[in-house]
Amino acid sequence: MELLKDRIMKDGKVRKGNVLKVDSFLNHQMDIKLFEEIGKEFKRRFSDCDITKILTIESSGIGIACIAAQSFGVPVVFAKKNTTKNIDGALYSAQIESFTHGKTYNVIVSRDYLKPEDNILIIDDFLAKGKALVGLSQIVKKSGATLCGAGIVIEKGFQEGGKILRDAGMRIESLAIIKEMTDDGKIIFE
Ligand code: 5GP
Give tens-digit pLDDT for 130-174.
999 999 999 999 999 999 999 999 999 999 999 999 999 999 999
Find out whether the peptide bond into 60 is cis, omega within 30 degrees of 0. Answer: no
Which of 1-5, 46-50, 78-82, 163-167 is predicted with the least confidence, judged by mean pLDDT?
78-82
Q: In the predicted model, what is the mean pLDDT of residues 77-95? A: 82
In the reported structure, the alpha carbon of residue 79 is separated from the centroid of ligand 1 by a whole-number distance in angstroms of 15
Amino acid at 75: P
- How far apart are the CA of 153 and the centre of ligand 1, in A? 11
Q: Does the pLDDT at position 85 exceed 90? A: no
Q: Is the CB of 52 under 6 A from ligand 1?
A: no
Q: Which atom of ligand 1 is nearest to the CA of 134?
A: 2
Residue 177 near residue 4 (C-beta atoms within 8 A): no
Give the ligand 1 atom nearest the CA of 20: 19
- State mean pLDDT over 6-13: 98
User: 42 near 151, Cβ under 8 Å?
Assistant: yes
Q: Look at residue 84 and tell me whether its pLDDT is greater than 80.
A: no
The 10s digit of each residue's pLDDT in 105-139 is: 999 999 999 999 999 999 999 999 999 999 999 99
Closest ligand 1 atom to residue 96 Cα is 2
Ligand 1 neighbour 130 (Cβ under 6 A): yes
Residues in the chain, overall count: 190
Residue 145 C-alpha to ligand 1 middle, in angstroms?
25
The percent of residues above 70 in pLDDT, for the chain, comes to 97
Annotate 58-109 with DSSP letters as a single string: TTHHHHHHHHHHHHHT--EEEEEEE-S---SS-EEEEEEE-TTT--EEEEEE
Q: Which atom of ligand 1 lies closest to the CA of 131? A: 2
B/e letters for 11-43, b = 16+ CB within 10 Å, e = fewer, are ebebeeeeebebeebbbeeeeeebbebbbebbb
Decide: 155 in ligand 1 pocket, CB within 6 A. Answer: no
Question: For the whole model, what pTM was predicted?
Answer: 0.96
Rg for the chain (alpha carbons), in Å?
16
Give me ligand 1 centre to Cα 62, in Å.
Answer: 14
In angstroms, the first-to-last Cα distance of the chain is 12
Residue 5 backbone phi and psi in degrees, to 5: -60, -40
Pocket test for ligand 1, best of 78, 107, 125 (most atoms within 8 A of CB): 125
